[in-house]
Structure 1
Amino acid sequence: MGATARRPRADPPLGRRPPVAPVEPPADPQLDGTDDPPERPTRRRAALVALAAAATASAAALVAGLLSWSPEPADPAGTVRPLTAVEAERLAALRVTNLRDVRAGVRVTLGAGGGRTELVGWVDWARPLVYLDVGGPGAGAERGLVQGTASTLLVRPDPAATPAPAPPPLVPPDDRWRLREPPAGSGLPAVRDLLLGLGTVRIDPPSPEARWLRREIVDDVPVDVLQAPLPVLQGAGSAPDRRPRLWVDRDARLHRLAGWLPDGTPVTVELARSDRPTLRPVDALGGRPGLPRALSDGEADRLARLPDRLRAAGGATLTVTAPSADLRGSGWLSWAGSAAYLSVVEADDPGRRTLVRARPGSVARLVVPAGGATGPPLPAPDGLVRAAGRPPGDDVERLVDAALRGAGSAVPATAAVRVRDDRVADRAVDVIEVRGRLRWWIDRSGLPRRLELRTGRGVWVRLDLAPGRVPALPGAERPVRKPAKRR
């Protein structure tokens, strides 16, 4: 066996592979930069300085932006545009639409913050009349009820009322109403003028300054928010940013108004279009609405017989109520003697009273301490008896003079209208208005229970009458007795 025996090759264990030497890629001088030429120190330093400066500028800009940031304006300039033809027509018809709807509920905020005054109630554009409850932290002495017409403002102060206003009672109280004439252009007169001025009989002319701002939803009603001048707020300024904003629906109904009064006070008015009860003016503003008509035959007969009934009744106890002068009075009136005698006390001067002696066309006065009595003293003081008479001058004197002259000539039925039926002193009466300035409240027996006189301010002063026997009055005529016939 000459052949050399070869040793068998040892196989690796099952499942194990022989180790493989790792293969590294050759070095690439373009990737690792080892072969790059060294960078110059000046270039590196300049780059670092530039980066630091950029970072500093960015930080400064960020801080300045945070400090000067403010919310975007409610009406971005990009949304403001002139009105379309349809929108302009709705704006022009806004005040006519209010008059057509007759009435609406209102909530007015006057001023802002802790000094604001809040008013809640209604406006009747057809009458016209506003009836409001005044409250809020800034109401002060004006807290209470207010009724106003275009020419008259009556207030009923109630300092003890709750600060938050509430809708006033539909049947207003019949006492403590006073006439107020504060300066126009601010406070309650300005609110009254604004509310009543939102109604008119004619469409307003086009307003080229009007602008459309945006759309909103008010009480589930889609509205367009417009900015336009209003005739009723002309004194508030003509600058674009002082023009009121109006929330108007597609039927030309106003739902909200935000603007400034003529004195610069901010005002917001919210209207409840479905809150439309019939309003009742207080007696000083004419009382419950009626349906004036011509007199019936029975009413005309009672009016024609009124002078005879007055002379037959002899006289009456009287009570005077005059919100126009904020006073009350009481006394007697004699139709048989053509004289009246009463005592008048003004609310602003309760420490004294004025005694009044009246005859048709003549009045005498005497001021005395009030004392504890309410009626005039009997007998009358000599100073009043000797005082010279003069023509009637104020509302109360003219009212008493009209009552005395009622016993003169009869009033023709064609000069009178029946305003309504009513009740006074638990008696049914017909309210008959004569020539637009006198109202006789005549019961079914033909006797008067009340007489009202309309003043130049549009306020009715009142004389309540209780026909019956009266004492001897100063200045009264004594009846002339015919001599007895001799038998």
Structure 2
Amino acid sequence: MENTSRPPTGGHRDESPAARRTGLPAEPAVRAEQAGPLSGAPTDRPERRHRAGARRHRAGIVPPEALGLTGTAAPGRPPGFRRASMSPGLLDPAVADLTDDEELAGTRDEAEENRRRALRRHRLTLAGLALTATVAAVLLVVTLTNWAPASARELTATERERLAVMRVTNYRELRAGLHVTVGDGSTRTDLLGWVDWARQLAYLDVTGPGAGPLRGLTQATPTVLVLRPDPTAVPAPAMPPLVPPTDGWRLPADRRLDPVLSFIFTLANDRPDPADGFSGHWAGQERINGETVDVLSARPPHGDDGARRYWLDPAGRLHRLEASLPDVGPVHVQLNRADRPTLRPVDALGGRVGLPRALTAAERERWRRLPARLRAAGGAAVTVTAPTAARANLRGAGWLSWTSGTAYLGVTDLDAEGRRTLLRQDAQGVTRIEGAIAGGHADPPPLPPPVTGWRAGAHRTDALTPLLDAALGAARDSRPAGSVRDSGPAGSVRRIRGDKLAGSVVDVLEVDTGRSRARYWLARNGLLRRLELPTREGTWAQLDLTPGRVPPLAAPTRPR
């Protein structure tokens, strides 16, 4: 009988009634050449044998008879072979064991928790590695910034040339921000501000634990330093106000900063140094304000205080300097070359710099008519500011009469608070009364003036005598302190600058007699508003005048 499970040998589909009922296609016929290799039949197409052997049969379909397998007889098993049992629930979800599902669910929760813990450990590990890398990078940058080679070499010719032109570069760039540190620890003094090498002026705020009585504002030239003390200033360094205060400036008794400021001014010159005069070595490179600079340790040809350490950029511009000054100790100088404001000297140092020029016709006429204008005015209330010495910072107020040729003032010394000197100057000379006289340095002397008690002789207020002489002599017919000429040798007059004083516009005229100088501040109405004279200390003393009526200044009895 014919086996119905064997498919037809042709390529036609089985159109049996069962196939038509299910709507599924019948199994395709197996070609004789495909079944041949498995049934022992010869074939000459190995690639077809490979594909036939690789074909898999779907589960539940009885293998064809051509494969030599029957559905009723179990194939033989090797000894020890055991067929794996299969849970019915894997084939039929309806009969699956719910206990197994709960156990699997618990296993999944535990696996998820373990995965989260591992992820957290991984993240912490990565964060630790990132932090370690950041710290290592910072330490590397700091190390490289402050690193200096163990074997420093001698200066090259190019480096010597850069040192030689360094002072010329400072002079040509005019100004720079400045931070100077003197000493260290509890004796450290900080100076913060600016230096103007072209006009030879430094303006600084002095602070630090070692500042002592020098704490406050200071302005200095190569020859003189004036201080505006401020004992209540904060100890932290701070830049001074760009417009300096007008009052309170004096000559300090403490001169510790003089060598430091002299050293700052020597950092500029209008001509280069000899390049072969520098001896030293190259100590490394650093980064300052985004620029790469060379660190050069060298002894300058013009210095006798040992080797200095320079931080120079390729253009020969100085950024930092370290030195040790005799009787001062270590000095560190930091320059900010981008901070370059125009500095204004205080009045004690001569005031704002102008553009000197010859007098105009109108200015010459005002200058010629000055004596007559003063005699017509009669007199003026006056105040005096004269930092003439460290122990004679004089302030005073009073009156001056051009009619009688008399000056009467009350004068105090800023370093001797509570003590006033009554000063009278006239054609007979200078007399004084000294004692504990009530009033401050801005208060006028008592009226009427005392008749007795006047004494003559040497006194610290003698420094005011030239100033009062010039003020009284301005009303005489002879030209004040010089001639009316605006050009020529001694006695020439020139306009220094325009300015303002007490709301009045003035022309500052300077008279040079060849032996001395005097500055007259003339208002546009022709009246004198200020007279200035230089002092022996290099400062300027001022006598401010407000023309008007003055009280009677009675003559005292003859002094003993």
| Same fold by TM-score greater than 0.5 | yes
SS in 2 for 1:179: coil
Q: Is the 8 A contact 1:361 1:392 kept in 2?
A: no
TM-score, reference length from structure 2: 0.67
Q: Which 5+ residue runs of structure 2 have no aligned equivalent?
A: 1-77, 81-142, 487-491
Matches within 5 A, 1:244-393: 244-324=308-388, 325-359=392-426, 362-372=429-439, 374-383=443-452, 387-388=455-456
Q: Which 5+ residue runs of structure 1 have no aligned equivalent?
A: 1-12, 16-70, 477-487
Alpha-carbon offset, residue 292 of structure 1: 1.1
Matches within 5 A, 1:382-461: 382-383=451-452, 387-388=455-456, 394-408=462-476, 409-410=478-479, 411-414=483-486, 415-435=492-512, 437-461=517-541
* Superimposed CA distance per residue, residues 160-199 of structure 1 (whole angstroms, 9 cap, x where no aligned partner): 111112111111000111112534xxx3212211111111
Identity among equivalent positions (%) equals 52
SS in 2 for 1:413: coil
**Greater RCO, CA 8 A, separation 6+:** 1
SS in 1 for 2:331: strand
**Distance verdict in 2 for CA 1:449–1:277, change over 3 Å:** same
Query: What one-letter code is carried by the residue in structure 2 that aligns with 1:394?
Result: D
Alpha-carbon offset, residue 260 of structure 1: 1.1
SS in 1 for 2:259: helix
**Distance verdict in 2 for CA 1:391–1:143, change over 3 Å:** closer
Query: What one-letter code is carried by the residue in structure 2 that aligns with 1:174?
Result: T
Whole-Å separation in 2 of the counterparts to 1:378 and 1:389: 24
Alpha-carbon offset, residue 384 of structure 1: 5.0
**Distance verdict in 2 for CA 1:447–1:384, change over 3 Å:** farther
Matches within 5 A, 1:36-115: 75-78=148-151, 80-115=152-187
Q: Is the 8 A contact 1:355 1:376 kept in 2?
A: yes
**Distance verdict in 2 for CA 1:181–1:160, change over 3 Å:** closer
Alpha-carbon offset, residue 85 of structure 1: 1.4
Question: How many residues of Structure 1 are paired with residues of Structure 2 in the alignment?
Answer: 398
Q: Is the 8 A contact 1:103 1:122 kept in 2?
A: yes
2:248 aligned partner: 176
**Distance verdict in 2 for CA 1:337–1:397, change over 3 Å:** same
One of 543, 547, 550 as aligned partner of 1:463: 543
* Superimposed CA distance per residue, residues 395-454 of structure 1 (whole angstroms, 9 cap, x where no aligned partner): 322111110111121231321111111111111111111116211111111001111111
Alpha-carbon offset, residue 390 of structure 1: 8.1
Q: Is the 8 A contact 2:278 2:301 kept in 1?
A: no
* Superimposed CA distance per residue, residues 125-149 of structure 1 (whole angstroms, 9 cap, x where no aligned partner): 1110110011222222221111000
SS in 2 for 1:178: coil
Q: Is the 8 A contact 1:213 1:227 kept in 2?
A: yes
Alpha-carbon offset, residue 74 of structure 1: 5.7
Alpha-carbon offset, residue 81 of structure 1: 2.1
One of 277, 296, 309 as aligned partner of 1:207: 277
SS in 2 for 1:326: strand
Whole-Å separation in 2 of the counterparts to 1:361 and 1:460: 27
SS in 2 for 1:401: helix
Alpha-carbon offset, residue 82 of structure 1: 2.1
Q: Is the 8 A contact 2:183 2:331 kept in 1?
A: yes
Alpha-carbon offset, residue 323 of structure 1: 2.4
Q: Is the 8 A contact 2:277 2:301 kept in 1?
A: no
* Superimposed CA distance per residue, residues 225-278 of structure 1 (whole angstroms, 9 cap, x where no aligned partner): 1111246752x3x3xxxx110001111110000121212511110101111110
**Distance verdict in 2 for CA 1:246–1:362, change over 3 Å:** same
**Distance verdict in 2 for CA 1:197–1:447, change over 3 Å:** same
**Distance verdict in 2 for CA 1:86–1:394, change over 3 Å:** farther
1:485 aligned partner: none
Whole-Å separation in 2 of the counterparts to 1:433 and 1:181: 30
2:288 aligned partner: 218
Whole-Å separation in 2 of the counterparts to 1:280 and 1:232: 30
Alpha-carbon offset, residue 75 of structure 1: 4.3
Whole-Å separation in 2 of the counterparts to 1:97 and 1:394: 45
Alpha-carbon offset, residue 350 of structure 1: 2.1
One of 252, 260, 276 as aligned partner of 1:191: 260
SS in 2 for 1:155: strand
Task: Return the index of the structure with the highest Cα Rg.
Answer: 2
Q: Is the 8 A contact 1:339 1:475 kept in 2?
A: no
Whole-Å separation in 2 of the counterparts to 1:75 and 1:106: 25
Whole-Å separation in 2 of the counterparts to 1:388 and 1:260: 50
**Distance verdict in 2 for CA 1:159–1:303, change over 3 Å:** same
Q: Is the 8 A contact 2:214 2:254 kept in 1?
A: no
Whole-Å separation in 2 of the counterparts to 1:431 and 1:176: 23
> Which ranges of 4 or more aligned residues in structure 1 deviate by more than 6 Å?
389-393
**Distance verdict in 2 for CA 1:124–1:372, change over 3 Å:** closer
Alpha-carbon offset, residue 393 of structure 1: 7.3
TM-score, reference length from structure 1: 0.77
Whole-Å separation in 1 of the counterparts to 2:79 and 2:553: 149
